[in-house]
Structure 1
Amino acid sequence: MKRRETPDKKMILGMHFGNGYGSQPHAWRMPGVPKGGATDFDALVRYAQAAERGKFDFLFLPDFLGLDTDISHHPSMLTLEPLLTLAAVARETSRIGLVTTASTTFNEPYNLARMFKTLDVMSHGRMGWNVVPTSDPGSAANFGKAPMPRQEKYERLHEMVQIVQALWGSWGEDAWIHDAATGQYADASKIQPIGLQGRHVGAQGPLPIPPSEQGQPVIFQAGGGEYGLQVAGQYASGVIGATFSIEDARSQRQALRQAAQAAGRDPDEIKFFAGVMPALGVTKREAIDRRLQLGKDIFPSRVPYLGQMLGLRLSASRLDEPLSAQELQVARANPGDPRSPTALKVAREGWTIREILAHGVIDYHPTPVGPAEVTADHMQEWFEAGAVDGFWVSIDVYEDGIDAFVDGVIPILQERGLFHTEYEGTTLRDHLGVPHQYGLDARLS
């Protein structure tokens, strides 16, 4: 693709930051990956610094309140406590935003407000809170509870967000005087209790932490549905999405903008990020071979599902065979799985079943396969179609994959005028281009 003629608007990029190895289940087995990567904070800091070298706008660290997989043969995707992890990263980076998930179901507002604002001050205004409720029964059991009914779960979420934001704003922005000559440390009249009590949670306050350079952390949201859309529309400045087509991404983004407008906000205040899982290589063959190595132990179990996606009965005994001409003639994309059209397209190119799977057709985000230009083209097409404000990039193996993206894809996006060459600001709000907020949003009742 060509350089944009009017490169005023730039895409915003986040990087998925997970378990210390990468987004692919067997990243831990790849050559050169640190043996103890799941608990190697030096490695995690190094990966964050590599992303910052590429001028990524933020890291996105999801969370799960339990064991999320059978760890017999590959690690959990989410392991260490995320706020402590980002505290380590905050001290060794200077510009990249730091966004993490924290449950509104199994936390209390004062604790969350205190931790996030402390990290926001520590990072000089780079924190973001991805606001989510928790539905998983195993996670609930870790707190000695049962899952909350959906309605109550979201009632609690709204109370949590509003009380946390009120606590963030309870220390007035100009309350900290710190005048050694006069002996006045702070203007106590501007540090006030909030005294909020909802049906599920409450807090008296105040929270005795001054504002950061961005005031307070930025709210993110992940997850769809009517409830999620309402949460995003009222509070979020960034939405972490999952979509497999330009049309669906554009529809999701437009729905989010309408939800923000309905809440009395400017639609431009909400930014939508689609996921992308690049499979990079100097050639397409090299990229496929890398994914074959990463998926060699999991592909056999995925064959039956690939068959469902294509309307065929497929056996793992045929992993190294392409689909027959007769199978290709009757194959149909399963309308119940948005990944199916891509799987069918790849199958028709003549690849073996194993190679079809290596194209990432069952991965949870689109997977551009091949040289850096292929990923850059994918991102440019979606961005220029108005489907996204940017992407959250899920790297297959952190140890070499972050540098490959930073040294391969980023320069192409920059040369095409799609991505900044330097950080324009210092805070996460600066990076997202969203307005200042301190305390509750005055536009929301």
Structure 2
Amino acid sequence: MTKSHMILGMHLGNGYGSQGSAWRAPGVDPANYTSFDAQIRYAQAAERGKFAFLFLPDFPGLQSGLNHEAPQITLEPMMTLAAIARATERIGLVATGSTTFNEPFNLARQFKALDVMSHGRAGWNAVTTSDPAAAANFGQAIAPRPQRYQRAHETIQIAQALWGSWQQNAWIKDQETGRFADPDKIQPINLQGEYVASRGPLPIPPSEQGQPVIFSAGGGENGLELAGRYASGVIAAVFTIEEARNQRQAYRDAARRAGRNPDEIKFFAGVMPAIGKNKRAALDRRVQLGELTAASRVPYLGSMLNLHLDAGQLDEPLTPAQLQAASPSPFDPRSARALQVAREGWTIRDILAHGVIDYHPTPVGDASATADHMQEWFDAGACDGFWVSIDVNEDGIDTFVDEVVPLLQDRGIYHRDYEGSTLRDHLGAPAQYGLDIRLTDPVA
């Protein structure tokens, strides 16, 4: 692959989009929450834009109330990607799978089956789970962080060992001689960790990329170590170029400490574009999406600016006195951007429409505003690419593909076609089958 090209992933959550009220947007079927056909349409649109992968987060439970906003998670990521795999050809398929509430054999089996089904396009975002509500769904309590991450290391290593337990040349399938496979090359792994274990083998031969690719989305020192040892992609949440550059370097350093080439790990910043014919049109789109929720978000915006804000001021800008008293909260990295937008004189409703309390940066305006944001970050070495969260999938993915992608291509920073057929190809990830032989302390 070309080193100067950014890599793009598309976030797919529910059947609507990344804005909780996307289910009410014009042209959206409100029943898309259970529509796998809708997810397939969105995946095919992203593939038309030559996206390297789809990224499906997961949470084993209900995260929020359902009064006005739809859950942000698909019904079940592996089932969704299995449906998408049969209707796409090149785009990678990355799903989140918890190492806390799954056994390594189940994870290894599901992801390698998806990898074989998709001809080498599967990726596993291996994460720990720390939410007590999720734990309650499994009749458990959340273990302390050190135990969760030790279990994560063991689970990933056992899964990778299981992936390699059916050796690459074990499948003979010779109809004339009647030899199906060489049993000497399909062997148990017999790995026992402190928290998980598996005998093996896993009865699934390699895919075109060998085995699934590992992704990571964890933070902190434990998350850095996990990603540094195993991940080829990091799904990040950063709000400034400086923060992104520092995080990307930290992950590269973690990979180096693990004995890997730091170029093996790709860092993906999030972006949540608001695209319209002009800035006002883009804001109006977000204002409409936030119709039922804007008032409830005013107090939080106030806390970000260290002000007391009232929903009665929703359609007014901050007063001169408020602007003079405002300061960014040190506890929320989005606060500086919120204050910057407020000082431009927008109403509070429009400030919120700028996405200042969204999960990722929100460039607002025509397609060039999003392309400029992405190029600035990429050229600054803040990321290797982006995972893109579209506000309303039904029309927003096509808008991104038809308007933003050509700009990136014309600027020479995004490819015009796939350069390979597997997820490893798309990421420039090295071949791997079974455990990484560079690991110095695999589970005993």
Aligned residues: 439
**Deviation digits for residues 206-257 of structure 1, max 9, x if unmatched?**
1111000000000000021010000000000000000000000000000000
Q: Which residue of 2 aligns with 1:60?
A: 55
Give the 3-state SS of the residue equivalent to 2:10 in structure 1. strand
Partner residue, 1:157: 152
Moved more, 322-331 or 35-44: 322-331
- Give the Cα–Cα distance (whole angstroms) in 2 for the partners of residues 279 and 192 of structure 1: 52
Matched residues in 1 for 2:324 and 2:144: separation?
46
1:265: how far off? 0.3
Alignment of 1:272-287 (within 5 A): 272-287=267-282
Q: Give the Cα–Cα distance (whole angstroms) in 1 for the partners of residues 193 and 423 of structure 2.
A: 30
State the TM-score, normalized to the length of structure 1.
Answer: 0.97
Question: Separation in 2 of the partners of 1:30 and 1:197?
Answer: 51
Confirm or deny that 1:389 pairs with 2:413.
no
Q: Distance in 1 between matches of 2:396 and 2:128?
A: 31
- Residue 202 of structure 1: which of 175, 197, 200 is its match? 197
SS at match of 1:239: strand
Task: Give every structure 1 segment of 4 or more consecutive aligned residues whose post-TM-superposition deviation is greater than 2 Å.
Answer: none
Alignment of 1:154-193 (within 5 A): 154-193=149-188
- Secondary structure of 1:37's match? helix
Name the structure 2 match of 1:4.
Answer: none
1:215 aligns with 2:207: no
Residue type at the aligned position of 1:54: G
Separation (CA, whole Å) in 2 of partners of 1:261 and 1:31: 48
SS, match of residue 358 in structure 2: coil
Q: Which residue identity is paired with 1:296?
A: E
Alpha-carbon shift at residue 312 of structure 1 (Å): 1.7
Equivalent residue, structure 1, for 2:29: 34
Question: Which letter maps to 1:377?
Answer: D
Aligned to 1:142: 137
Partner of residue 319 from structure 1, selected from 314, 327, 342: 314
The CA distance in 2 between the partners of 1:12 and 1:70, in whole Å, is 34
Equivalent residues of 2:305, 2:339 under 8 A apart? yes
Instruction: Give the alignment of 1:90-109 within 5 angstroms.
Output: 90-109=85-104
TM-score (norm 2): 0.98
> Structure 2 residue aligned with 1:376, among 371, 376, 383?
371
Alpha-carbon distance in structure 1 between the residues aligned to 2:326 and 2:143? 42
Distance across 1 between alignment mates of 2:18 and 2:261: 34
Matched, 1:121 2:116: yes
Q: Does 1:350 align with 2:345?
A: yes
Give the letter aligned to residue 172 of structure 1.
Answer: Q
How does 1:206-355 map onto structure 2 within 5 Å? 206-355=201-350
Which segment drifts farther, 234-243 or 32-41? Answer: 32-41
Deviations 1:180-222 (A, max 9, x none): 1222211211111101111111111111110000000000000
Deviations 1:134-165 (A, max 9, x none): 11111111111111121111111111000000
The answer on 1:365 being equivalent to 2:360 is: yes
Contact 2:74 2:80 in 1 (8 A): no
Per-residue CA deviations over 1:305-337 (Å, capped at 9, x if unaligned) read: 211222222110010111112222232222221
2:14 paired residue among 8, 11, 19: 19
- Match of residue 398, structure 2, among 372, 394, 403: 403
Instruction: Name which of 62, 70, 77 aligns with 2:65.
Output: 70
Unaligned runs of 5+ in 2: none
Secondary structure of the residue aligned to 2:4 is: coil
User: How far apart in 2 are the matches of 1:146 and 1:311?
Assistant: 35
Q: Residue by residue, what CA displacement relative to the aligned partner does 1:358-397 show, whole Å, maximum 9, x if unpaired?
A: 0000111000000000000000000010010000000000
Query: Aligned-residue CA RMSD in angstroms?
Result: 0.9
Moved more, 302-311 or 392-401: 302-311
User: Which residue identity is paired with 1:87?
Assistant: A
My pick for the range that moved more, 262-271 or 345-354, is: 345-354
Q: Which moved more, 1:327-336 or 1:250-259?
A: 327-336
Q: Deviations over 1:277-318 (max 9, x none)?
A: 000001100000000000111111111121122222211001
The 2-side partners of 1:312 and 1:197 are apart by 54
Q: Say whether residues 1:86 and 2:86 are aligned partners.
A: no
Could you say what secondary structure the match of 2:15 adopts? coil
Kindly state the Cα deviation for residue 8 of structure 1 after the two structures are TM-superposed: 4.9
State the distance in 1 between where 2:55 and 2:11 align: 5
- 3-state SS in 2 of match to 1:36: helix
Give the distance between the partners of 2:438 and 2:182, measured in 1 at CA: 27
Which residue identity is paired with 1:258? Answer: D
Distance 1:77 1:183 in 2: 50
The answer on whether the counterparts of 2:68 and 2:292 sit within 8 Å (CA) in structure 1 is no
Distance 1:313 1:138 in 2: 31
Map of 1:419-430 to 2, 5 A cutoff?
A: 419-430=414-425
1:264 Cα deviation after fit? 0.3
Instruction: Point out the more displaced range, 186-195 or 404-413.
Output: 186-195
